[in-house]
Amino acid sequence: MLRFRSVARKASEGARLRTRVEIGGAELLLTLPDGREWAFALEGADLAVGDATFTQRFVRHLHLETGAGELDLITPPEQGAIAPRAAQLPRAPDQAGIVDRPVFDILVEWLLGGGRLGGRTIEDLARLARLASPAFAVVIGERAGQLALEGTWPFGGPMRGGAIGDDLRRRLQPLESAARDSERAGYALVAALSACAGESR
């Protein structure tokens, strides 16, 4: 089991150090506050998400378990309300890693969706791209480009004079917006545009 004991100790002191999480498709890539890196394989993982307490605060708790190990992630306790002693909620493990709430929500959405890109909108993919590894961001972008193309074919095709048409760019706008402040979303956008351009040849 991966231990975050130093993180928990710092959290109790108010430091609230974060664990960085990247989605690599079939695995989660974690960077601990001390710089250590770890890959958690998702195949066959059991998933549980719920409310919990940590350092006497309410948090959201994600628990993943496989035959090879366990992973616990929680939202920042300092952002949660104070939990009364009478609260009948499980206590998150001391070794739980702390991630920001937007990261937690995107991660849970991905896992509850079965870790699949199918059935997701371009808006969904744009959010997911923010947490993707570089290689997986390219896969996400290619999927977004495919969706954008599929949406423009009924209106005469995506290309106008060999360039990407306005309608196609409009459909990719969520990804373009995410790319303004996310390097990984930028990778996905480049892959989406390349996929669209490839269809014109």
Asked whether residue 3 carries a pLDDT value surpassing 60, the answer given is no
Q: Convert the pLDDT of each residue in 120-175 to its tens digit.
A: 999 999 999 999 999 999 999 999 999 999 877 554 454 444 445 778 889 999 99
Asked whether residue 14 carries a pLDDT value surpassing 50, the answer given is no
Whole-angstrom Cα distance, residue 74 to residue 53?
A: 9
| DSSP 8-state symbol, 79 | G
> What is the predicted pLDDT for the residue at 150?
87
> What is the predicted pLDDT for the residue at 199?
61
- Structure-derived torsion over alpha carbons of residues 54, 57, 61, 65, reported in degrees to the nearest 10: 10
CA distances from 111 to 37, 93, 180 (A): 21, 20, 26
- Structure-derived torsion over alpha carbons of residues 155, 160, 166, 168, reported in degrees to the nearest 10: 60
Residues 6+ apart with CB under 8 A from 11: 17, 54, 55, 77, 98
Q: What are the counts of helices (DSSP H) followed by strands (DSSP E) for the chain?
A: 7, 9
Is this model's pTM higher than 0.95 or not? Answer: no
> What is the predicted pLDDT for the residue at 84?
85
